[in-house]
Amino acid sequence: MGACHLGVPSARYDDVQLAVHEALANALEHGHGGDGARPIDVEVARGEHGTVTVRIGDEGAGTRRSPGGDPDRGRGRDLLHRLSDDVAERSTSSGTSVTLWWSTQVAGTEVAPWRG
């Protein structure tokens, strides 16, 4: 299901696609160490109050960038925050989830989802 089916304004399609791709890549690399056989859960929902939510979960305990680490790494979180209206991360001993939100509002008017 594409972002347009959920009512995300067309100006935000690329943001949604890139943020979800980044979150999935992080789940695969950091959550599972590149083991493509381990599950990654993805939930997509259109909220009652003009929002689209994507939650991506894995079995990893999450990672934190260490000070003085590789300067070419660690930009994913910043990217997620720049591309999404809101981001929440939750790590426990049984896994990590990242939840991304986007508004379907444009200048105070909700965009209706495409029905095809």
Query: Is residue 81 included in any domain, yes or no?
Result: yes
Tell me, what's the pLDDT at 94? 85
Domain count, the chain: 1
Tell me, what's the pLDDT at 11? 81
What is the CA 95 to chain-centroid distance, rounded? 16
| Domain span at 27 | 3-65+72-110
Query: Is residue 20 included in any domain, yes or no?
Result: yes
Cα gap 109→107, rounded to integer Å: 6
Higher pLDDT, 1 or 69: 69
Q: Give the total residue count for the chain.
A: 116
pLDDT digit string (tens) for 20-59? 999 999 888 888 777 778 889 999 998 877 888 999 999 8
Tell me, what's the pLDDT at 18? 94
